[in-house]
Amino acid sequence: MIRLFAFLVVVFALGLGFAWLADRPGDMVITFNGYQYQVSLMVAAVAVVAVVAAVMIAWWLVKSLWNSPYTISRYFRVRRRDRGYQALSTGMIAAGAGDGALARKKTKEAAKLIRSDQEPLIHLLEAQASLLEGDHEGARQKFESMLDDPEMRLLGLRGLYLEAERLGDRNAARHYAGRAAVMAPQLAWAAESTLEELTARGDWDGALKLVDAQKSTRQIERDAANRRRAVLLTAKAQSLADSDPNAARTAALEANKLRPDFAPAAVAAAAALFKQNDVRKGSKILETAWKAEPHPEVAELYTHARPGDAVLDRLNRAKKLQEMKKNHAESSMTVARAALDAQDFSTARREAEAAIRMDRREGAYLLLADIEEAETGDQGKVRQLLSKAVRAPRDPAWVADGVVSERWAPVSPVTGRLDAFEWRAPMERLGQLIDSRDEAPDTVPVIEALSKPVSETPVDAIEPATTGSEATDKAGESREDHVTPVTAAAFAAVPADAEGVEPAEELTRLPDDPGVDPDDEAEKSPRRFRLF
């Protein structure tokens, strides 16, 4: 557009110049070699312009002829390059579609038309074609050759990393990921694998630096980065708790600052403070974590903050926690444990029963069994409570990838994933109902059992001694159940005015309904759950 505008401006200027000369007549006289030439001013101007144009055209022709070999070769080179890029594009599409044969064909075609040192994608296409053909050794060699090229180095490391993962060689995979993470920490696959390697060998400082690099490159969000830092700092504090208490205290306090509701960080920070006799600050940290989410480890450390306290002092501290989080099963369990240690059985029993009403779980029944054994020593009730504990849902625990742990750990023992442990109830026996006829509330609707096979008999059932009257009744019932064969004499004995009776419809049973055991029919109770 600019060039067109400039051309129009030049043409317009020339037109104005010629018009100006036409309005001003004049002559031009040229004397050369004894001859005198006289022409008008307009003719002279036109002649000058024509000479200049002829010179320019002649120069263009000479230059075109001089550069014609290069121009011709460039034309064919560009045409060859275009064909090569077309083959490369088709090959990449074929590799993405899984067509190994076409990808290999286009790889060879592109390699003939384009030099591989000019287009690195040819190496990638060749490696992808080898993978599609199952030639993993050839693909690894191609990826290794990419390491010598700075432009292709990350691509080669990525390919070698995936091949190592495919073969299950985690050490080699982490090695390649570590090299890539040094060069480009913004690569998610390299950073995550390197982070797993660092945490596996306990290099918490290196892992923290890597998380900071991820945060600076905006690879992960700020909240996720703070969560990872809190986990890593907590792990660092736990590892330095005995060797370097000051460094452990600093790391734990920073972790608690990042995540005040994270129980392991709060416990690590409070434990470090308690070792340095800073009970007030450590207790405040535990109280903040308890208000966010009650946790048994927080309660245990809080009640035993001062080792020299009496059992009544620990009970008072447990009641203080309960005041902070009322109507919570963990609060009642904490008070019940402290009351049991203080031999306050009435308080312990009341709080344990309250915990069961709020959250029926294994630990509450076990605690109630301990209270029963310590107070009365009634082994029958203790066994009854233990049987209920066996069938109750399990207490919450630290769970990661199917592994249940009593203590928190920064990484999963199965996959090595960071921050994998969660505080929740394990899936085993989750949601089972407690078979209790005394503790079920009156407002709970009765769930009647469908049936039980006749061949089944309760294992714990004890048949009472049969009395004479009961034997007579059973004999009568057996006579009623006995069916007399129908004969001609029986038909003759039927009165003439007897009314016909419709046969009773037989109750059809569902295919999965084995029927109801008569013994269980008599033992039904409207306050008992029978689901099995």
pLDDT in tens, 508-530: 444 444 444 444 444 444 433 33
The pLDDT of residue 499 is above 70: no
Q: Which of 147, 143, 152, 154 is nearest to 182 (CA)?
A: 154
Give the residue-averaged pLDDT of 91-95: 86
pLDDT, position 115? 74
Between 431 and 87, name the one with better pLDDT. 87
Q: Lowest-confidence range among 155-164, 314-323, 466-475?
A: 466-475
pLDDT, position 7? 82
Q: 40, 28 in Cβ contact below 8 A?
A: yes
CA separation for the pair 159, 146 (Å, rounded):
10
User: Mean pLDDT for the chain?
Assistant: 79
The radius of gyration computed from the CA coordinates of the chain, to the nearest angstrom, equals 46
CA separation for the pair 420, 411 (Å, rounded):
6
pLDDT, position 116? 65
Q: Which of 367, 322, 361 is nearest to 341 (CA)?
A: 367
The pLDDT of residue 12 is above 60: yes
Q: For 307, which DSSP code?
A: T
- Tokens standing for residue 21: 């000369």
Q: Lowest-confidence range among 248-252, 289-293, 470-474?
A: 470-474
Confidence at 112, pLDDT banded by 50, 70, 90: confident
Q: Lowest-confidence range among 85-89, 240-244, 496-500?
A: 496-500
pLDDT, position 503? 42
CA 407 to chain centre: 21
Give the residue-averaged pLDDT of 83-107: 86
pLDDT, position 349? 93
* % of the chain residues with pLDDT over 70: 80
Between 178 and 26, name the one with better pLDDT. 178
pLDDT, position 428? 57
Q: Which of 147, 148, 151 is nearest to 161 (CA)?
A: 147
Q: Which alpha helices (DSSP H) does 457-532 contain, by range?
A: 468-481, 488-492, 518-522
pLDDT, position 527? 39
Per-residue model confidence as pLDDT tens digits over 60-78: 999 888 888 888 888 878 8
Confidence at 384, pLDDT banded by 50, 70, 90: very high
Q: Lowest-confidence range among 21-25, 140-144, 518-522?
A: 518-522
If you write DSSP's letter for every residue of 94-133 in order, what string do you get? HHHHT-HHHHHHHHHHHHHHS-TTT-THHHHHHHHHHHHT
The pLDDT of residue 157 is above 80: yes
The pLDDT of residue 302 is above 50: yes
Q: How many CA atoms lie within 13 A of 444 on its CB side?
A: 15
Confidence at 322, pLDDT banded by 50, 70, 90: very high
CA of 301: how far to CAs of 185, 212, 276, 317, in Å? 40, 32, 15, 11
Q: 159, 192 in Cβ contact below 8 A?
A: no
Q: What are phi and psi of 30, to 5 degrees?
A: -125, 125
pLDDT, position 117? 65
The pLDDT of residue 472 is above 80: no
Q: Of 139-143, 252-256, 304-308, which one has max mean pLDDT?
A: 252-256
pLDDT, position 348? 94
